[in-house]
A and B are shown apart, each in its own frame.
Chain A
Amino acid sequence: MSIEIDHVNKHFRDFIAVDNVSLTFREGELTALLGPSGSGKTTLLRIIAGLEQPDTGRIRFHGEDTTDLHVSQRGVGFVFQHYALFKHMSVFQNVAYGLTVRPRRTRPSKAEIRRKVMELLELVQLDWTAHRYPHQLSGGQRQRIALARALAVEPKVLLLDEPFGALDAKVRAELRRWLRRLHDEIHVTSVFVTHDQEEALEVSDRVVVMNKGRVEQDGSPEEVYDHPANPFVYQFLGNVNLFHARVHDGVAKIGDVTLPAPEFEGYQNAPGQAYVRPHEIEVFADRDHDGALHAKVELVSVVGPMVRLELRTDNSEALVHAELPKHRFRALGLQQGGDAWIRPIHSRVFLPDSRVANG
C-alpha cells in the first residue's frame, strides 16, 4: 500500500514542525526519514499514523484519503522508540492484544489467535518468551516483540519511530540487518525515522533527508550519499572538509589543484565552497606531487582498520580531516607533528546561495 503525503503542514505554537511536505512512499518500499532532532521527521511519521493531526494537507493510503480517519481505524503498525509494551501483560498477551480487542464479529477464535501469535513470535525468533513479561527481556528482545505486536494486526503500513534508538551499538547493528531481512520477507510498506545516517544508508531502499520541517533530498541511499543535493545533506551524511574554491568553465580550482565540475560549465571565475570527504583526500609524505598542499600532522588516531588524521595547512585556520587505511598510513611513515602533503581527489562545489545546484 502506497502512502501519499500531500502538502502537509504542522506547527506547535511558534515552532514549525512540518513545513509544506509532499512525498510519496511506494508500495513495499522501506524508506528512512533521516534528519537531526527537531527536523520534523517524527512529527511527520505520527501524522501518517494518525497520532497527530496536520494543520493543513492530506494523507492518502493507496489513493484513499485517511486524513480524518481515527488512528484505530487506519490499519497502521507503529513501533515506538521505547517499545511501549504493555507492562502488565505477558509477551503473548502483548502480541495478541490487537486481535483480542477486536469487536466480537471480527475477532478470530482463541485457537486462531494463538496460532497467529506463535507464528509471529517464531518470525521474530522469540517464541520461547511467550510467558515472560516485558521487564524480563532485553531491549533488543523487547523491540522485536513490539514489532511482532504491530505485525499481528496485519497493518497496511509499518511505521517505526527511531526503533533502534534506545539500544546499544552492537544490538543496534544486528537488529537493523535483521529488520532489513524481515522486510524482504514480508514486504509491507515501511517508513522508519532515524537520526543515524549509517542506519538509514544501510537499511533502506530510499532515504528522505529532512531539516527544519522540510525535505532536503529524496533518493536512493547511494544517490543521497554520492550526490548530495545541498550543503546540508553533504554535511549531515558524514564528515566533510570545506575548502575555498573557484569554478571556471566546468572545473573547480582548490589552490593549485584542478578538479572537474561539469555542472558549472559556463561559469567564469565564481567563488564557491568545495566539500571534500575525509577519504577523498590523498596524503603524501613528500612534496613531489602536483598541486599538493603542505600541512602539519596535528593528530593521529587509529580507529580499527582506519587511521584518521587532523592536518593544518599553511594558509588555513581550519583543520583538514583525512582518513586512510592503516597499511597505507604505515607505508607512508607519517608521524604526529611531522610534515605531510595533501591533495583532494574529488570534491563537490556549492556556490553561495545555490542550495539546489544539481550534481
Chain B
Amino acid sequence: MTTSTTVLETQDTLAKRWRRATEEPAWLRLTLIGTALTFLALFLVLPLSVVLYGAFEQGLGVWYAAIRDPDAMAAIRLTLLIVAIVVPLNTLFGIAAAWAIAKFEFRGKPLLISLIDMPFAISPVVVGLIFVILFGSQGWLGPWLSSHDLRIIFAVPGIVIVIAFGTLPFIARELIPLMQQQGKEEEEASLTLGASGWKTFWHVTLPNIKWGLIYGIILCNARAMGEFGAVAVVSGRIRGETNTMPLHIEVLYNEYMFTAAFAVSSLLTGLALVTIAIKSLVEWHDERRQRLAVL
C-alpha cells in the first residue's frame, strides 16, 4: 500500500512539474485571450450589432419598406444575378486551373500559379480602371464595341467581368494544394480499369475534391456579393440598373437615408452570415469525416 501511494504521489508531482515546464504562465495566457476577445468585440461584434440596431431601430415595417423600394429590389436582383453568373464561371475556371497545375507538367507553371494570385494583390479600384481602359468608350476596344452596339462599361457585363476577376483565385487556391496532395494515382487506377476521362472525373476526382470545392464556392460567393471598389468604377452607378447592393447602400448613406442604408446592409450582412454558417458546417463535417477516417 505504502509503496503504491508513494508511486502515485511521485507521478502526480512529476505531472505537475511537467505541466509547468510546457505551459505559459497564467497572466500571459489571460492577457493574450483577453486582447483577442476585446479586439473581436470591438471590431466584429460591435459593428454587427450597430448594423442590426440601425436596421430595426424604427421597426420591422420601416425595414421592410426600405427593402421593397424598387431601387433596392433592383440592386438585390442584380447582385443575385451576378453571383449566379460569376460563381459557376469561377468554379469551372478553378477546377480547370487546379487540374492543370496539379496533374500536368508544362512550361510556365510557376507563372500561372503566381498569376492566379494577382487579383488578390491588385487594389479593386485599379482593377476597375484596367477594364475601363480596355472596354470604355475612350478605351482600346471602345470604338469597336460601340460600332457593334455592345456595352460593357456602365452595364451589367462590366460588373460581371470585374467581379469574376476579383474572385478568380478563391476556388483555384482552395483546390490546388488539395489536388497536388492527392496526386494522380486514383485517376490512373480508374483509367486502367477502363473508365473514360469524363467518368474518371465524375466518379473519382470530383468526390475527392468535393469539400474543398464547396468551401471555395462559399468564399467566392461571399466575396462576389460584397465587392465594391471595382464595381463602383465600372458600373456608372445607375440607380435601379447598375447598382449592386454595396453600391446601393453607399447611395442611401450619401443621401442621409441611414435607416434604409442599414436595412439593406442588414440584408447583405445576413447573406454573409448565412454563407459563413454554411462554411462552418462544411468545415465541421470535413473535420468529422477526417477524424473518422483516422479511426
Binding site for B on A (CB under 8 A): 49-51, 70-78, 80, 82, 84-88, 97-98, 101-102, 133, 135, 146, 149-150, 152-153
**Main SS class of interface, B:** helix
Contacts of A152 in B (CB 8 A): 193
Whether A150 pairs with B192 at a CB distance below 8 angstroms is: yes
Q: How far is the CA of A77 from the CA of B191 in the complex (A)?
A: 10
- Check if B61 is an interface residue, CB within 8 A of chain A: no
| 22 A–B contacts, CB within 8 A, in A order | A49-B192, A50-B192, A70-B191, A71-B191, A72-B193, A72-B194, A72-B196, A74-B192, A75-B194, A76-B192, A85-B186, A86-B186, A86-B204, A87-B186, A87-B208, A97-B193, A98-B193, A101-B195, A101-B196, A102-B194, A149-B189, A150-B192
Whether A101 pairs with B188 at a CB distance below 8 angstroms is: no
Whether B203 pairs with A72 at a CB distance below 8 angstroms is: no
A51-B192, A82-B185 given; name 16 further pairs at CB < 8 Å: A50-B192, A70-B191, A71-B191, A72-B194, A74-B192, A78-B188, A84-B188, A86-B207, A87-B293, A101-B190, A101-B195, A101-B196, A133-B293, A135-B294, A149-B189, A152-B193
Q: B185, B193, B207: which has the most chain A beta carbons within 10 Å?
A: B193
Whether A153 pairs with B193 at a CB distance below 8 angstroms is: yes
A155 closest partner in B (C-beta): B192
Q: How far is the CA of A75 from the CA of B186 in the complex (A)?
A: 17
Contacts of B196 in A (CB 8 A): 72, 101
B 269-295 to A, binary, CB cutoff 8 A, 1 in contact else 0 = 000000000000000000000000110
Q: A51, A76, A82, A86: which has the most chain B beta carbons within 10 Å?
A: A86
Binding site for A on B (CB under 8 A): 185-186, 188-196, 199, 203-204, 207-208, 293-294
Q: A78-B189, A80-B189 are in contact. Are A72 and B195 (CB under 8 A)?
A: yes
Contacts of B195 in A (CB 8 A): 72, 97-98, 101
Contacts of B207 in A (CB 8 A): 86, 88
Q: A86-B204, A97-B203, A135-B293 are in contact. Are A72 and B191 (CB under 8 A)?
A: yes
Q: A84-B189, A88-B208 are in contact. Are A98 and B194 (CB under 8 A)?
A: yes
A70 closest partner in B (C-beta): B191
Q: How far is the CA of A152 from the CA of B194 in the complex (A)?
A: 11
B35 to chain A, nearest CB (A): 41
Q: How far is the CA of A289 from the CA of B193 in the complex (A)?
A: 64
